[in-house]
Structure 1
Amino acid sequence: ATLPESLRAKGLRHCEWKEGGPGIDLMRTMALLGLGSDRPVQVGDRSVVPREFLTALLKREGLLGAPPGVTIEDWEVCDIEVHGTLSGRSVERHAVARFPPRPDWQLSATEYAVGVAGSIGAEMIARGEITGVGVLPPEVCVPAPRFRHELARRGIETTISPPERELAPLDLVRQR
């Protein structure tokens, strides 16, 4: 999370980043145990890479990816809440993005969200719309209006309210 450093010059004093979902505590425990590590561990006379072991175990137990015949139809929602002052007055804003699943590509909403954001960034660099050089966080170098336009072209709804209208509730029954 680069926001605290990137926005400090604009007066940011406090920033919290929360991420979650089903199984987040288990994932944290596995990370603390080192199961994501690429550093080999000696087990008897064998060298075992924890990440490779975990991947093989999850595959064997059928816990990696969707089971055969199952279509994942989840949604990824990014909700940012900002409290601050503008011209001496207290303001609150909500920025929301909703990422649909892509069952036609065998992708969950999370997989689609991660991939589409990076691909849009790469296209914008190729077209010369992102001109920053080096390793820069997106909030510093990506033109937000153009990025949001590209998200919309890919079926991803975004809003910043106020002044924009809040997103309508999803009608999942009608979308099927």
Structure 2
Amino acid sequence: MATKARKAMVLGGCGAQGSFATRDMVRRSVFDEIVIADLDLEAADKLARALDSPKVSTRRVDILDRKALLASLRDADLVMNCTGPYYLLGPKVVDAAIEAGKNYIDFCDDIAAHEQIIEKDEQAREKGITVLVGLGVSPGIAPLMVMHAASQMDEVRDVSFPQMIHEREPEGPAVIYHMAANFFGKIPVIRGGKRVYLEAFEEEEEVDFGPPLGKAKVAPFGHPEIFTLPRVLPGIQNLTIKIGSYPVETYEALKFLAQAGLAGTEPLEVKGRGIVPRDFLISLLMSGRHEEERKQDYTSSMVVEVKGKKGGKTITVKYNFNGLMGPNTGIPCSVGAEWIVQGKIAKKGVVFPEECIDPKPFVDEVLRRVGEISPITVKETVSVSRDWIG
């Protein structure tokens, strides 16, 4: 019996991170048809020409045009949403996917979008579809590493994953606006088992990311794992996500500009015009990005550290993760899309990676695929300690 042809609609599939998901899906045999859908049809066509595959087609889609969005999903088996900002576009695409009865996946890392989308769980379950939210590197790979560490423990107490983003990562404006909103505002963390909020740059610390980046400063960063990890690990007492920028001079410059008021969102009058300081700051950051600087002779980094108990002893599992944001974000989403249509991710409703994915085989597959196209290293360190008396 012939296998049913599978079609994926990839919204924003020609973007800085979505293009890696698209490329990976084209290289595999799970999807027979891949539609790169974007408001910028010229950009979608450019990627399609580069891929030069009979499986690939393009389509102009305006997500804010609900009728057109629904029409684009009509004959798809799965919709992958790589657009942003997620707080604006994520819930709209999820609503359309639910109405159309189509499985959905994204790498959404926006807290506000997560909070809106989780409210749609019952609707998704009634439709019998999977709405998998947040399958990139963080959220995505990072909480799956936490779950793998947790499988080696009787209880998990403390979790942290500081991240270091190299300034030469090819991030679009939606990513930078998202980072600004979650770096400069009130930042959620878990302390003593309860959610509390920190100010920008509060609890700043220096973290050793190991070679090649070494030690660098990071500060708390608002991310959805603060909400999703306690759903599956309710005993967590302390949970913090922090972020910094490499080289360290970039981080210090951002901190200075923010403290000088350029992270604000209230318009200021400048020569008779209303200028939003944050808009100016982000435009300034974007203007300094040039294609010729984006050679892959750099890396970003993340440390995932999990502390807990095993047999009465304190155990710490630590992962040092080096790689590039594009493939490390896009390829997990590609693998997740395949696993949904193959039935390896079977849970229905609105779900998060740590709730529905077997961590070890999934992360292994992602690392294998990323390693085919980009440098990546992951080191696991496990240490055990116990009291001298007892």
In the superposition, the TM-score normalised over structure 1's length comes to 0.60
1:26 to 228, 242, 253: 253
How far off is 1:44 after superposition? 4.3
How do 1:15-164 residues align onto structure 2 when only pairs under 5 Å count?
15-21=239-245, 22=248, 23-30=250-257, 33=261, 35=263, 37=265, 41-58=268-285, 60=287, 63-65=288-290, 68=292, 71-99=295-323, 109-130=324-345, 131-134=347-350, 136-148=351-363, 149-155=365-371, 156-162=376-382
Equivalent-residue separation in structure 1 for 2:334 and 2:267 (angstroms)? 33
C-alpha offsets along residues 89-119 of structure 1, whole Å, 9 cap, x if unaligned? 22221223332xxxxxxxxx23433333444
Change (3 A) 1:35 1:123: farther
* Amino acid in structure 2 at the alignment position of 1:92: T
Distance of 1:57 and 1:71 partners within structure 2 = 21
**Conserved? CA contact 1:30–1:36, under 8 Å:** no
SS at match of 1:17: strand
| Structure 2: gaps spanning 5 or more residues | 1-222, 384-390
* Aligned-residue CA RMSD (Å): 3.5
Aligned position for 2:31: none
Whether contact under 8 Å (2:315, 2:382) holds in the other structure is no
Secondary structure, aligned partner of 1:74: coil
Q: CA deviation at 1:141?
A: 3.0
Aligned residues: 148
Q: Deviations over 1:116-173 (max 9, x none)?
A: 3444444444444333522x4432333312321222222144353349xxxxxxxxxx
SS in 1 for 2:243: coil
Q: Provide closer, same or farther for how the CA distance between residues 42 and 12 of structure 1 changes in structure 2, counting only shifts above 3 A.
A: same
Give yes or no for contact 2:328–2:370 (8 Å, CA) kept in 1.
Answer: no
Hey, what's the Cα distance between the residues in 2 that align with 1:69 and 1:13? 42
Q: Which residue of 2 aligns with 1:106?
A: none
- Larger RCO of the pair (alpha carbons < 8 Å, separation 6+): 2
SS at 1:64 equivalent: coil
Query: Percent of aligned pairs with the same residue?
Result: 24
- Residue 24 to residue 119, structure 1, CA distance change in 2 (3 Å): farther
Q: Which amino acid aligns with 1:64?
A: R
Distance, in Å, in 1 between the alignment partners of 2:360 and 2:379 is: 11
Match of 1:166 in 2: none
